[in-house]
Amino acid sequence: MIRLGQRLREVRIGKGISLEEVSRATKIKIAFLSAIEDGMYEKLPSSSYAQGFVKNYAQFLGFSEREAMALFRREFDEKRIFKVLPDGLVSPHEFHPSKRIFQQTTIIVLSVFVVLIGYIFFQNRYVFINPPLEVITPIENAVLDTTRVMVSGRTDQNASVFVNGEPAFIDKDGSFQKNVTFFSGKETLEVTAVNRFGKETKVKRHIEIKE
């Protein structure tokens, strides 16, 4: 049985035309032209592309379009052999519009989902981690000449801060200050930040009071 691909190849070779020349003239990829000549229609993007490629190829060679399409319809079974081309074989503009829309929609949905999950995690991050706590003053091993010591620092604005067990006022930006009275000598200062989920962070400062 005469096959379309064989006839087209015979006509092309008979005219001394290479596949590269056909590809330049018809704007059809060499891979697609080879697939047509080999009867491997499953390597073409879709049935509509396949028909268009066959028509353009036949017209370029001066082969009867009617005969070419008759042979094509006899060989081509869309339900049996049609499938999407392997990755990399078709350039992005050759995909079916519906597939492109589906891909774009999927990417958008996934992006929104990731952003939403990230936002939820950020808002509730202290369920899983301890609150931040930075004690600015006094510094570790500070030697002070007063028994009244200013304790200052920063934490999460929604946390509670305790200095040696006594609550400290927290500003809207998470900064806090509290005056604490010590006796002369070496002392240990303990600052604790506790969030609403019970997670806590502690910082100790060792100081020495000399009057």
Q: List the chain domain ranges.
A: 4-86, 91-123, 133-209
* CA torsion through residues 38, 43, 47, 48, sign: negative
Ramachandran sector of residue 39 (left: φ over 0; alpha: ψ -120 to 50; beta: rest):
left
Instruction: From 164, 207, 211, select the one nearest 186 (Cα to Cα).
Output: 207
Distance of alpha carbon 144 from alpha carbon 210, whole angstroms = 6
Q: Which residues pair with 133 in a beta bridge?
A: 155
Least confident of 45-49, 85-89, 108-112, 137-141: 85-89
When pLDDT is cut at 50, 70 and 90, the band that residue 96 belongs to is low
CA distance 91 to 98: 15
Q: Say if residue 126's pLDDT is above 70.
A: no
Average pLDDT over residues 130-155: 93
Confidence of residue 90 (pLDDT cuts 50, 70, 90): very low
Contact 198, 129 (CB under 8 A): no
Q: Rounded to whole angstroms, how far apart are CA atoms 155 and 136?
A: 11
Same fold, 4-86 and 133-209: no
Question: Does position 192 have pLDDT exceeding 90, yes or no?
Answer: yes
Is 80 exceeded by the pLDDT of residue 86? no
Tell me the sheet residues that pair with 207: 142, 187
pLDDT of residue 198: 85
d(CA 162, CA 153): 12
Query: What's the pLDDT at 34?
Result: 92
Q: Which CATH number fits domain 133-209: 2.60.40.10, 2.40.50.100, 3.10.105.10, 3.30.70.20?
A: 2.60.40.10
Q: pLDDT digits over 49-61, tens only?
A: 888 999 999 999 9
Q: Which residue has the higher pLDDT, 85 or 198?
A: 198
Given pLDDT bands bounded at 50, 70 and 90, which one contains residue 81?
A: low
Helix (H, G, I), strand (E, B) or coil at 28: coil
> Which pLDDT belongs to residue 78?
57
* Helix, strand, coil percent values for the chain (each to nearest 5): 45, 25, 30
Provide the token pair at 127. Answer: 């369920």
What tokens were used for 112?
């929104």
Least confident residue range of 5-19, 92-106, 116-130:
92-106
4-86 fold: 434 Repressor (Amino-terminal Domain) (1.10.260)
Q: What is the DSSP letter of 126?
A: G
Q: pLDDT tens, 152-183?
A: 999 988 889 999 999 999 998 999 999 999 98
What is the DSSP pairing of strand 200-209 with strand 185-194?
antiparallel
Contact 129, 199 (CB under 8 A): yes
User: What is the pLDDT, as a whole number, of residue 47?
Assistant: 82
